[in-house]
């Protein structure tokens, strides 16, 4: 009797130990996988950063050098002065800032209309708005190019900026989703007090929607920072190129002379603002991605 | 039928006033270009001379004579058929991994998400360097082992797959969507499945997968649309080469429009692309009734 009891507890103990072992092994496996994969994913960017700090001979040393000696921070300063980096950066901002203002302004107005006013035809028009997301830019690209060319807008920032003031399907959709969550009672109360829709929009809904406006602003900024095809088509003069198009051109300067460290320094500098934005606004951005992603 | 009242009139005026920027934009930057490109697709037009009506000739050439276009279609279908599932599977696996409780999870999440943030132009330069045949990180490692150098971007066999690999690297956004969807799966479902004796694999297959199908549908559609329009990374890294092996639809379209100035032919291409994308989107939506599960409803 006592013997079987002892045997049973021993068995139970062993089973418990076994279960713990499995759990520990599972945790280990999880951590090993995550750490290995994050190295694999981070590798190109790490390598970029390391290369950007290397002295010339280190760049081409095999096996690859991971800790540059000496560390040349001046690569950044040199790379950014050999090419007119500042000018292209300024060009990027000259496009991105008006585009952000135009997009936030026009899309919040339109999204307010779709989210908060029950007008006839609303459902249909909102469906049309969503449907335009399906339309490839390529279909619109050629006639727009021809039209802008006739209007003499080529080789200026107008083709890139002006359309932003007329809404865009994705930010409208995103803002509408946010505006829908603001309690209707707030608007109703304001209406009874004699507020016009524009005042409700400006005084009540917009202040409450600041985080979502930030999401749209940041996404638009990053999109504009990244935009390649647009400037490539509309701009011919290299002096007008934003960073996205100019960076490719640096190649002829750097790549052919095997100045990879400069190329990587310029690339790292192009990436930096986007990473800073993400770091500062991580939570807001992730929310923006998931709201439109899932509820769509 | 709602009764038309003064109230309705007022909200109609207000509603249309608020959406008017978009309505004007729709007319100027969407409807007009669509109609115009349809018209151009029936013409021969090099910008310098007036467009000349040639009926269906562009479409006929495209379907019967243009040998490069055949190559382009093959490349694009390969890119979509391999790249879309590959990207979504990678995003899903990363999300599953990050859905586990672990230390430093925000850091790992940031690392996997970061590549999606990197501007395409910068990413292209970084990859060009990493994949470099002589001094690139990967080939240095390969050579150290005495293996033959991998011609990532310079061989017909590799180029497409290399671009797909880079696409899989930048799946942070899709990963976030899956992660949010995974975190929305109610705990109670797992508990119930466990009581019923389902093992981990069964719980994954019968609970996790169905509950995340709405996110999958969204991502399949956006990725299909995106991949058919694939341009920037390909243009920057291989520009269609070697020997047209990465000449994808949008790259060929761009070339026709802005290198050959065949605006009519390029417009016909753009309409074919549009119709293909529409077809795939509609078919995916139709099929979704069978495989997408909306919990609750």
The answer to whether residues B79 and B216 belong to one domain is: yes
pLDDT higher than 90, residue B4: no
The answer to whether residues B199 and B283 belong to one domain is: yes
Residue A87: the pLDDT is 92
Q: Kindly give, in sequence order, each residue whose CB lies less than 8 Å from that of residue A253, ignoring residues fewer than 6 positions away.
A: A82, A83, A259
pLDDT higher than 50, residue A219: yes
How far, in Å, CA of B107 to CA of B114, rounded?
10
Give the mean model confidence (pLDDT) for residues B285-293: 87
Start-end of H helices in chain B: 6-26, 32-40, 57-60, 67-98, 105-117, 120-130, 137-144, 156-169, 172-183, 187-195, 200-203, 209-211, 213-228, 232-237, 249-258, 263-291
Upper half-sphere CA count for residue A90 (Cβ side, 13 Å): 6
Least confident of A76-90, A225-239, A248-262: A248-262
Residue B8 sits at the chain A interface (C-beta within 8 Å): yes
Q: With contact defined as beta carbons under 8 Å apart, do A231 and A160 qualify?
A: yes
CB-CB: which of A30, A118, A294 is closest to B11?
A: A118
Nearest to A93 by CA among A235, A264, A283, A270: A270
For A217, phi then psi, to 5°, come to -60, -45
Answer whether B176 sits within 8 Å of A296, measured CB to CB: no
CB-CB: which of B98, B144, B179 is closest to A63?
A: B144
- Chain A residues touching residue B225 (CB < 8 angstroms): 133-134, 136
Answer whether B22 sits within 8 Å of A247, measured CB to CB: no
B194-210 CB burial, b ≥16 within 10 A, e <16: eeeebeeeebeeebbeb
Q: With contact defined as beta carbons under 8 Å apart, do A200 and A188 qualify?
A: no
Nearest CA in chain B to A197: B14
Answer whether A109 sits within 8 Å of B118, measured CB to CB: no
The answer to whether residues B34 and B126 belong to one domain is: no
Residue B231 sits at the chain A interface (C-beta within 8 Å): yes
pLDDT digits (tens, 9 = 90+) for B183-203: 888 888 888 998 988 888 899
CB-CB: which of A251, A267, A275 is closest to B126?
A: A267
The answer to whether residues B30 and B82 belong to one domain is: no
Q: pLDDT confidence of A2, banded at 50, 70, 90?
A: low
Q: Check residues A180 and B275 and name the one with the higher pLDDT.
A: B275
Q: Would you say residue B286 lies in a domain?
A: yes
Q: Kindly give, in sequence order, each residue whose CB lies less than 8 Å from that of residue A83, ignoring residues fewer than 6 positions away.
A: A246, A250, A253, A254, A266
Nearest to B120 by CA among B158, B175, B163: B163
Residue B283 sits at the chain A interface (C-beta within 8 Å): no
For chain B, the average pLDDT equals 91
pLDDT digits (tens, 9 = 90+) for B79-128: 999 999 999 999 999 999 999 888 888 889 889 988 988 999 999 989 99
How far, in Å, CA of A102 to CA of B142, rounded?
50
Answer whether B117 sits within 8 Å of A275, measured CB to CB: yes
Q: With contact defined as beta carbons under 8 Å apart, do B179 and B99 qualify?
A: yes
Give the mean model confidence (pLDDT) for residues A39-49: 92
The answer to whether residues B29 and B151 belong to one domain is: no
Nearest to B102 by CA among A32, A186, A69: A32
| Residue pointed to by tokens 């705990």 | B187
- Chain A residues touching residue B125 (CB < 8 angstroms): 247, 251, 263-264, 266-267
pLDDT higher than 70, residue A4: no
Residues paired with residue B52 on neighbouring β-strands, in sequence order: B44
| Residue pointed to by tokens 């040349």 | A72
| Domain with B34 in it | 1-40
Answer whether A45 sits within 8 Å of B33, measured CB to CB: no
| Residue pointed to by tokens 């694939």 | B230
Q: With contact defined as beta carbons under 8 Å apart, do A107 and A171 qualify?
A: yes
Least confident of A185-194, B153-162, B246-255, B264-273: A185-194
Q: Which two tokens stand for residue B55?
A: 């009926």
Residue B288 sits at the chain A interface (C-beta within 8 Å): no
Upper half-sphere CA count for residue B104 (Cβ side, 13 Å): 9
How far, in Å, CA of B9 to CA of A120, rounded?
9
How far, in Å, CA of A278 to CA of B171, rounded?
16
Nearest CA in chain B to A162: B25
How far, in Å, CA of A270 to CA of B94, rounded?
26
Give the mean model confidence (pLDDT) for residues B231-251: 92
Residue A5: the pLDDT is 65
Q: Would you say residue B18 lies in a domain?
A: yes
CATH number for B188? 1.10.3720.10
The answer to whether residues B36 and B127 belong to one domain is: no
Q: Would you say residue B45 lies in a domain?
A: no
Q: Would you say residue B49 lies in a domain?
A: no
pLDDT higher than 60, residue A205: yes
The answer to whether residues B150 and B65 belong to one domain is: yes
Q: With contact defined as beta carbons under 8 Å apart, do B267 and B57 qualify?
A: no
> How many structural domains compose chain B?
2
The answer to whether residues B257 and B136 belong to one domain is: yes
pLDDT digits (tens, 9 = 90+) for B40-79: 999 999 988 889 999 999 999 999 999 999 999 999 999 9
The answer to whether residues B25 and B96 belong to one domain is: no
CA distance A291 to chain B (A): 9
Q: pLDDT confidence of A63, banded at 50, 70, 90?
A: confident
For chain A, the average pLDDT equals 86
Rg of the Cα atoms in chain B: 24
CB-CB: which of A113, A132, A172 is closest to B30?
A: A132
The answer to whether residues B116 and B26 belong to one domain is: no
Answer whether B121 sits within 8 Å of A247, measured CB to CB: yes
- Chain B residues touching residue A293 (CB < 8 angstroms): 173, 176-177, 180-181, 215, 218-219
Q: Kindly give, in sequence order, each residue whose CB lies less than 8 Å from that of residue A87, ignoring residues fewer than 6 positions away.
A: A239
Q: Which two tokens stand for residue A240?
A: 């007008």
The answer to whether residues B23 and B105 belong to one domain is: no
The answer to whether residues B28 and B142 belong to one domain is: no
Q: Which 3 state secondary structure label does DSSP give B99?
A: coil
């Amino acid at each position: 009797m006592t013997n079987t009891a002892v045997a049973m507890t021993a068995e139970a103990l062993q089973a418990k130990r076994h279960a713990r072992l499995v759990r520990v092994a599972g945790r280990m496996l999880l951590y090993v996988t995550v750490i290995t994969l994050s190295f694999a994913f981070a590798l190109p960017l790490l390598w970029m950063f390391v290369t950007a700090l290397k002295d010339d001979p280190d760049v081409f040393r095999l096996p690859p050098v991971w800790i540059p000696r000496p560390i040349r921070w001046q690569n950044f300063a040199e790379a950014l002065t050999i090419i007119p980096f500042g000018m292209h950066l300024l060009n990027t901002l000259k496009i991105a800032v008006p585009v952000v203002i135009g997009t936030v302004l026009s899309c919040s107005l339109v999204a307010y209309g779709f989210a908060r006013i029950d007008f006839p035809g609303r459902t249909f028009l909102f469906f049309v708005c969503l449907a335009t997301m399906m339309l490839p830019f390529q279909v619109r690209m050629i006639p727009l190019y021809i039209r802008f060319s006739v209007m003499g807008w080529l080789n200026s920032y107008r083709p890139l900026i002006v359309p932003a003031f007329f809404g865009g399907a994705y930010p409208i959709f995103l803002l509408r989703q946010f505006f829908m969550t603001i309690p209707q009672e707030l608007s109703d109360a304001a209406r009874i007090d004699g507020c016009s829709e524009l005042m409700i929009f400006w005084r009540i809904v917009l202040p409450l929607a600041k985080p979502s406006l930030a999401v749209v602003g940041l996404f638009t900024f990053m999109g504009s920072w990244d935009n390649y095809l647009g400037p490539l088509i509309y701009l011919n003069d290299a002096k007008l190129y934003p960073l996205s198009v100019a960076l490719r051109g640096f190649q002829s300067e750097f790549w052919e002379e095997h100045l990879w460290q400069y190329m990587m320094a310029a690339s790292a500098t192009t990436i930096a603002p986007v990473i800073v934005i993400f770091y500062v606004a991580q939570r807001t951005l992730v929310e923006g991605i998931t709201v439109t992603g899932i509820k769509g | 039928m709602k009764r038309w009242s003064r109230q309705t009139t007022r909200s109609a005026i207000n509603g249309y006033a608020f959406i008017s920027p978009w309505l004007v934009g729709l007319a100027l930057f969407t409807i007009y270009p669509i109609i115009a490109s349809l018209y151009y697709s029936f013409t021969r037009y090099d910008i310098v001379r007036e467009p000349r009506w040639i009926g269906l000739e562009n479409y006929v050439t495209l379907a019967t004579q243009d040998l490069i276009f055949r190559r382009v279609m093959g490349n694009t279908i390969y890119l979509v058929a391999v790249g879309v599932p590959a990207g979504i599977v990678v995003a899903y696996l990363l999300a599953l991994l990050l859905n586990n409780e672990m230390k430093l999870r925000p850091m790992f999440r940031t690392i996997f998400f970061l590549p999606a943030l990197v501007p395409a132009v910068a990413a292209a330069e970084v990859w060009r360097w990493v994949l470099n045949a002589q001094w690139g990180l990967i080939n240095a490692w390969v050579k150290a082992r005495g293996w033959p150098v991998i011609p990532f971007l310079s061989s017909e066999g590799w180029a497409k797959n290399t671009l797909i690999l880079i696409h899989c690297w930048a799946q942070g956004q899709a990963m976030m969507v899956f992660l949010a969807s995974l975190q929305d799966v109610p705990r109670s479902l797992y508990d119930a499945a466990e009581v019923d004796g389902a093992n981990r694999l069964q719980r994954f297959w019968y609970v996790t997968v169905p509950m995340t199908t709405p996110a999958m549908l969204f991502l399949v559609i956006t990725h299909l649309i995106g991949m058919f329009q694939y341009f920037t990374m390909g243009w920057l890294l291989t520009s269609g080469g070697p020997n047209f092996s990465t000449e994808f639809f949008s790259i060929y379209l761009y070339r026709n429009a802005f290198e050959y100035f065949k605006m009519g032919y390029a417009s016909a291409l753009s309409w074919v692309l549009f119709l293909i994308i529409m077809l795939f989107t509609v078919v995916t939506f139709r099929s979704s009734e069978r495989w997408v599960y909306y919990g609750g409803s």
